[in-house]
Amino acid sequence: MQPSDLRVGVEDEHIVVTMPDTSFRISFFKFRNEPRLVESPAMSVEKGTPSDKRKAFEALAWEVANAKARELGWIV
């Protein structure tokens, strides 16, 4: 899995990361006065997805979401 495999977008105050052609979706947001992103509690993955694949998606999604947050000036 590569960063280029994921799509990142902004919906309201959330950064949303998805993997095309799958149900993988996770969102992140930033609390006011906090220097970091927080993972939204709901993550969507296909039922029966092996935990290592889910964890790989989650880790890579965190990286691309943080890069997007820096690009938007949400975090330093």
Q: Tens digit of pLDDT for each residue in 13-48?
A: 899 999 988 888 999 998 888 888 988 887 777 777
Residue 50 pLDDT class (50, 70, 90 cuts): confident
- Residue 20 is part of which domain span? 3-72
CB 24 within 8 A of CB 68: no
pLDDT of residue 65: 95
How many domains are contained in the chain? 1
- What is the reported pLDDT for 23? 85
Strand intervals (E) in the chain: 7-11, 14-18, 25-29, 38-39
